[in-house]
Amino acid sequence: MPETTAMSEAARPDTATVLAGLDAITGWQEELYRHLHAHPELSFQEEQTCALISERLEELGYAVHQVGGGVVGVLANGEGPTVLFRADLDALPVTETTGLDYASTVTVTDDEGKSVAVMHACGHDAHITCALGAAQLLSEGRDSWSGTFVALFQPAEEVGKGAQSMVDAGLVDTIPRPDVCLGQHVLAQPQAGHVATSPGPVLSAGTSVRVTVHGRGSHGSMPHLGVDPVVVAASIVLRLQTVVSRELAPGEFGVVTVGSVQAGAKANIIPGEALLLINTRAYSEEVKERISAAVERIVRAECAAAGCPAEPDIEVFESFPLTDNDPDVTARVTEAFIEHLGAERVHELGRVPASEDFSVIPDAFGVPYAYWGFGGFPEGQGVPNHNPAFGPVIQPTLRTGTEAAVVAVTAFLAGPAGGAR
Ligand SMILES: [Zn+2]
Ligand SMILES: [Zn+2]
């Protein structure tokens, strides 16, 4: 057996007693989930969501801090380790097509005055509900463990800036330093009722880059008097295909996608500029840096080759770090999942190409972390996150996400004070 179970029985929390409260919270959890799903808020606009979370944490006896657009509840419960559990809050600019009776009809007006539909298409409403459920169970079950539990609710995950916003606002000096950080995400796989995690890299590092190519506009009949940015953009798109195929070793993971190319408006006008939006993914910071350097080199070289009158503008507007699960922490989480959920409900997560900014928080404290997925759909009916039809089944999704949070958190807390059971 791994040494995590070698501690004396008296030193371990009574997780089963904490979980015994699960049936009693199902009612408000389902109601809250429907409310949150119907009232999504975009990144850095999570005001109503934060107000609701703060109020509930205060009722549960947590010391509540507002930090960088997010909320942190701290439950100090005697001697022992400090365990941080993180949930994210934001929704996406997606028009919901689930047809659920609690589907979002929310729209907001963007900077350009356009109406934008908002939807919890990534399941962060489930994350909030499960984290608040775990917060209640750990508060009401405080005679069964000792230590400090930190429930952290982070804004703006979808734009990769919310965790950093909390760190920049002084998170490290506001709350007790955790010994370990934990986080979870509802996914299309495994099936609802199941969880999945793996040691090492589980989510990719990702960047989004905006490139502006400066050409020289001209009449479409007089290309010799201009520098055609459409041709430069086309060359860049093709040449970028060699980054993964020719510069990474076979078997090394990387993705370079040009998601948007925009230039010009008429057939007979050579435009002055072209705009490209480029997304990259990697499973190591080293490969991420190598890809970024290759993208920049190719963009600059193609502009130089065409004789562009000015250097291109290259702006990184989103950057997600690697999510790299600590092997020891992940082993302990996995063991606790197997003990309390049963081995048949615990799976390997493997590598998911999506990205997260969760690791910014443990990295700010310099502490290890583990991240896992939990299912939101019946077997074979999974809908991918960010899809307009992303509508997880309410149960067993909420129940499993809450159980997983409690089980993982208590795996790192100490037993009740004095060893009483
Ligand atoms: Zn998402
Ligand atoms: Zn998400």
The three-class DSSP label of residue 74 is strand
Examine the pLDDT at 7 and tell me if it is beyond 90: no
State both tokens at 14.
């009574």
Give pLDDT, residue 10.
52
Give pLDDT, residue 338.
98
Spacing, Cα 320 to ligand 1 middle (Å): 12
DSSP secondary structure of 225-292: GSB-HHHHHHHHHHHHHHIIIIISPTT--EEEEEEEEE--SSTTEE-SEEEEEEEEEESSHHHHHHHH
Examine the pLDDT at 4 and tell me if it is beyond 70: no
Asked if the domains at 3-204+322-419 and 208-320 fall in one CATH topology, the answer is: no
Spacing, Cα 161 to ligand 2 middle (Å): 13
Q: What ligand is nearest to the CA atom of residue 123?
A: 2
Domain boundaries, the chain: 3-204+322-419, 208-320
Q: How confident is the model at residue 421 (pLDDT cuts 50, 70, 90)?
A: very low
Separation between Cα atoms, residue 287 and residue 297, nearest integer Å: 15
Q: Do 409 and 75 form a contact (C-beta atoms < 8 A)?
A: no
Please write the tens of the pLDDT for every residue from 23-55. Answer: 999 999 999 999 999 999 999 999 999 999 999
Superfamily of domain 3-204+322-419: Zn peptidases (3.40.630.10)
Q: How confident is the model at residue 418 (pLDDT cuts 50, 70, 90)?
A: low
Spacing, Cα 159 to ligand 1 middle (Å): 9
Q: Do 394 and 128 form a contact (C-beta atoms < 8 A)?
A: no
The pTM of the full predicted model, rounded to 2 decimals, is: 0.89
Separation between Cα atoms, residue 32 and residue 132, nearest integer Å: 10
Q: What ligand is nearest to the CA atom of residue 92?
A: 1
Q: Do 126 and 34 form a contact (C-beta atoms < 8 A)?
A: no
* Mean pLDDT score of the chain: 95
Bridge pairing between strands 147-154 and 82-88: parallel
Bridge pairing between strands 70-77 and 313-320: unpaired
Q: How confident is the model at residue 2 (pLDDT cuts 50, 70, 90)?
A: very low
Examine the pLDDT at 388 and tell me if it is beyond 80: yes
Relative orientation angle of helices 124-140 and 47-59, to the nearest 10 degrees: 10
State both tokens at 395.
């149960």
Q: What CATH number labels 208-320?
A: 3.30.70.360
Spacing, Cα 266 to ligand 1 middle (Å): 36
Cα-Cα-Cα-Cα torsion 308, 310, 312, 317, nearest 10 degrees, comes to: -150
Spacing, Cα 250 to ligand 1 middle (Å): 29
Spacing, Cα 377 to ligand 1 middle (Å): 16
Q: What is the mean pLDDT of residues 385-400?
A: 98
